[in-house]
């Protein structure tokens, strides 16, 4: 009995928790307790599995005792254990943040009580997608997390969210249909949907058919990962959702797509046949994404575009299909999940403190709340890749891998990556200068609440009184705290974790390097599922 034998619990626990949380719908405090406990347990399990993974190797759990390739298997290798740890840690932090927001807003709105069960189902879907060793089960995992995300996206049913939700649902369903068509055709070609079994059988399929299947899967996952030219849905839909929802979507959902692409490229169709194609895609994703970010003034939309742009980095590492590139890409995924989520959480705080996330109307935030300034500045510089931070280490790894590959296209990508990094710095510096550094007097049309903070009468109650006069909204309810500790706390935690990635970089790179080696070798995965000798 080893830790990885408990892998199904990482899916079952959130699902059970969702059921309990649903029953406790009327008791919001108990609901919060249940969901935080469940995610805490899931995180604990994931950490134990990750710590055991290097010594235990790749481990497969047969669900219901069915022998592979007939039954569904869950496979825990170092890559999936790492992704599981990061995803459960980030989702736990975001849950605490959301719970804090719920408490502060007195939590009596009806739609919010559905938040916890749905959120837990989302986490279950993500965990399932990270661990499954069965292509159809991967589809089910995707559908579980997508269906939960549809509900979270349209929470409250306001007009902008319904508008964005419809686009999001249609695009997601189309990508799922493409995935399903690919599964059907793969089944037709090989007679199996078990990923390890496919790895051994797909080699015998006619190369032209292989190419079709390969491309179908890449397009389906490319929509989910939001790579060029399949990213248009993302900046339209993400910014309208609640701040914690956007944060967890930006951190996790696109990365599930990237994860699936990694599995396709390493396990199912190894050898990097589409490597050059993916490199071009990565380059255009990076550059177009960041140019999009330059044109935005709404902070949430701007961050959505940087999210797209940085997906390009991961695809770059993957496209190199070398051990160095893959290791750097995995490190970059971990870094980016944490940093992008922190940035969106901070944006939620900015919106709460200042009443808007439109950079054109913000100003003087660093003076108004130095804490908020620091919380934004660190992940922003981290994303841009300023040296001490993990963003720099991740990009350095990718650049090294690119130079190591040595092809002309790889050098073009290295240049593109540096260029994108510079533009990211420009975008982030511009946000910093406008929203945080400039004085409110320089803002053309400042959000009224920003002016209130500089007034002599800036005590909390006086502030709310004046804010009430200006906006006439419910913001000025006496009970509303602008920056409650229950929301800044989790944000501080996640930003600290992002900084800690610098100090953990050594062990983490060793881990991702081993994971990359295992994935490229393929035999550990195949033998874990089908038994020794199957992979040859």
Partner 1 sequence: MTVDLTLIVLMAAFLAAGLYLLLERSLTRVLFGLILLGNGVNILILAMSGVGGAAAFYTEGTSGRDYVDSLPQALILTAIVITFAVTSFMLGLIYRSWVLGRKDEVQDDPESLRRETEDDYGHADDADRAADASEFPHPAEVRPLPRARTTPASGSRSASGSTGGQAR
Q: Closest approach of Cβ 71 to partner 1, in Å?
A: 11
Q: Closest approach of Cβ 76 to partner 1, in Å?
A: 24
Q: In whole angstroms, how far apart are CA 381 and each of 218, 237, 256, 351?
A: 31, 26, 25, 20
Between 276 and 469, name the residue whose CB sits nearer to partner 1: 469
Which two structure tokens, joined as six digits, stand for 410? 């790889």
The residue with tokens 């309810």 is 477
Q: Encode 486-516 in three state secondary structure.
A: HHHHHHHHHHHHHHHHHHCHHHHHHHHHHHH
User: 61 forms bridges with which residues in the sheet?
Assistant: 74
Between 449 and 505, name the residue whose CB sits nearer to partner 1: 449
Q: Closest approach of Cβ 406 to partner 1, in Å?
A: 39
Phi, psi (deg, nearest 5) at residue 483: -130, 75
Among 82, 84, 67, 58, CA closest to 2: 58
Q: 506: how many CB neighbours lie within 10 A of its CB?
A: 10
Between 117 and 397, name the residue whose CB sits nearer to partner 1: 117
Between 235 and 416, name the residue whose CB sits nearer to partner 1: 235
Quickly count helices (H) and strands (E) in the chain.
23, 2
Q: Closest approach of Cβ 32 to partner 1, in Å?
A: 25
Q: Closest approach of Cβ 451 to partner 1, in Å?
A: 6
Binding stretches for partner 1 (CB under 8 A): 136, 140, 143, 147, 150-151, 154, 157, 159-160, 162-167, 169-170, 173-174, 176-177, 180-181, 183-185, 187-188, 193, 236, 239, 294-298, 301, 358, 360-361, 440-441, 443-445, 448, 451, 454-456, 466, 469-470
Distance CA 309, CA 363 (A): 26
CA 235 remoteness from chain centre = 14
Q: Closest approach of Cβ 169 to partner 1, in Å?
A: 6
Between 197 and 527, name the residue whose CB sits nearer to partner 1: 197
Distance CA 412, CA 392 (A): 19
Between 42 and 356, name the residue whose CB sits nearer to partner 1: 356
Between 67 and 404, name the residue whose CB sits nearer to partner 1: 67
Among 395, 404, 427, 199, CA closest to 306: 427
Between 1 and 206, name the residue whose CB sits nearer to partner 1: 206
Distance CA 10, CA 105 (A): 31
Distance CA 415, CA 309 (A): 15
Q: Closest approach of Cβ 278 to partner 1, in Å?
A: 26
Which helix (H) or strand (E) element contains residue 448?
helix 448-454
Q: Closest approach of Cβ 228 to partner 1, in Å?
A: 17
Between 424 and 512, name the residue whose CB sits nearer to partner 1: 424
Which helix (H) or strand (E) element contains residue 73?
strand 73-76
Q: Closest approach of Cβ 126 to partner 1, in Å?
A: 17
């Amino acid at each position: 009995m080893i830790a990885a034998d408990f892998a199904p619990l990482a899916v079952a626990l959130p699902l059970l928790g969702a059921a309990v949380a649903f029953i406790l719908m009327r008791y919001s405090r108990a609901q919060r307790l249940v969901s935080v406990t469940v995610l805490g347990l899931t995180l604990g399990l994931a950490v134990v599995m990750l710590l055991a993974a290097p010594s235990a190797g790749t481990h497969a759990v047969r669900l219901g005792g069915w022998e592979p390739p007939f039954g569904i298997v869950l496979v825990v290798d170092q890559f999936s254990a790492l992704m599981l740890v990061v995803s459960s840690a980030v989702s736990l932090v975001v849950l605490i943040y959301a719970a804090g927001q719920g408490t502060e807003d007195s939590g009596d709105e009806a739609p919010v009580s559905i938040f916890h069960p749905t959120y837990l189902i989302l986490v279950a879907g993500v965990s399932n997608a990270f661990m499954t060793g069965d292509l159809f089960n991967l589809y089910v995992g995707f559908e579980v997390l997508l269906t939960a995300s549809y509900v979270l996206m349209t929470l409250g049913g306001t007009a902008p969210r319904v508008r964005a939700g419809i686009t999001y649902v249609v695009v997601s369903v189309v990508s799922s249909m493409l995935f399903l068509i690919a599964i059907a055709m793969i089944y037709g070609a090989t007679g199996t949907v078990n990923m390890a079994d496919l790895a051994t059988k797909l080699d015998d399929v006619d190369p032209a058919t292989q190419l079709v299947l390969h491309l179908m899967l890449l397009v389906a996952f490319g929509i989910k990962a939001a790579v060029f030219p399949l990213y248009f849905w993302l900046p339209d839909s993400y910014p309208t959702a609640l701040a914690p929802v956007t944060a967890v979507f930006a951190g996790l959902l696109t990365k599930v797509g990237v994860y699936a692409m990694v599995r396709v490229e390493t396990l199912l169709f190894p050898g990097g046949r589409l490597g050059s194609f993916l490199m071009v895609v990565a380059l255009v994703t990076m550059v177009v994404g960041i140019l999009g970010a330059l044109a935005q003034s709404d902070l949430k939309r701007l961050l959505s575009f940087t999210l797209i742009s940085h997906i390009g980095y991961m695809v770059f590492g993957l496209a190199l299909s070398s051990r160095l590139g893959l290791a750097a890409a995995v490190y970059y995924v971990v870094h980016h999940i944490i940093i992008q989520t922190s940035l969106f959480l901070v944006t939620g705080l900015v919106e709460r403190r200042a009443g808007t996330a439109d950079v054109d109307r913000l100003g003087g935030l660093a003076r108004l709340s130095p804490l908020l300034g620091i919380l934004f500045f660190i992940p922003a510089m981290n994303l841009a890749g300023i040296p001490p931070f993990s963003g720099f280490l991740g990009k350095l790894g990718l650049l090294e891998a690119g130079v190591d590959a040595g092809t002309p296209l790889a050098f073009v990508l290295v240049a593109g990556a540096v260029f994108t990094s510079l533009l990211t710095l420009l975008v982030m510096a511009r946000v910093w200068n406008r929203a945080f550094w400039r004085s409110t007097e320089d803002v053309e049309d400042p959000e009224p609440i920003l002016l209130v903070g500089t007034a002599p009468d800036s005590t909390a109650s006086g502030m709310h009184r004046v804010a009430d006069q200006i906006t006439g909204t419910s913001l000025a309810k006496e009970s509303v705290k602008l920056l409650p500790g229950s929301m800044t706390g989790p944000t501080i935690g996640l930003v600290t974790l992002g900084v800690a990635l610098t100090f953990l970089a050594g062990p983490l790179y060793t881990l991702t390097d081993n994971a990359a080696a295992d994935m490229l070798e393929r035999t550990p995965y195949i033998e874990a599922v089908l038994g020794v000798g199957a992979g040859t």
